[in-house]
A and B are shown apart, each in its own frame.
Chain A
Amino acid sequence: MSTSASTSESMTLGNLDRELIVATQQGLPLVSDPWAAVGEQIGISGDEALARFQRLQANGVLRRVAAVPNHYRLGYHFNGMTVWDVDDERVRELGRATGELPFVSHCYRRPRHLPLWPYNLFAMVHGTSRDEVESKAERIHELLGDACRGHQILYSSAILKKTGLRLQRKR
Chain B
Amino acid sequence: MQLDATDRRLIDLYQRRMPVTSRPFLRMGEELGLSEQEVINRLEALQAHQIISRVGPVFEHSRAGASLLAAVAAPQHEIDQVADRINHFPGINHNYAREHTFNLWFVMTAPDERTLATRLDELEETLALPVLRLPMIEAYHIDLAFNIDWEAVS
Contacts and interface: CB of A to CB of B under 8 A. Distances in A.
Interface of A: 10-11, 13, 21, 24-28, 30-35, 46-47, 50, 53-54, 56-57, 59-70, 73-76, 79, 81, 92, 95-96, 98-100, 102-111, 113, 116-117, 122, 126, 128, 132, 152, 154-167
B56 A68 contact: yes
A20 to B, nearest CB: 9
A124 B96 CA distance: 13
Contacts of A161: 83, 87, 92-95, 106
Contact of B18 (A65, A75, A109, A110): A65
Contact of B140 (A27, A96, A154, A162): A96
A35 B18 CA distance: 14
B105 A21 contact: no
B60 A106 contact: no
A75 B26 CA distance: 29
Interface centre among A24, A106, A109, A163, by most chain B C-beta atoms within 10 angstroms, is A106
B57 A25 contact: yes
Contact of B141 (A31, A33, A104): A104
A165 B92 CA distance: 10
11 contacts: A25-B56, A34-B24, A50-B21, A73-B49, A73-B51, A95-B140, A99-B141, A108-B139, A110-B135, A162-B95, A166-B59
Interface in B107-154: 109, 132-149, 152-154
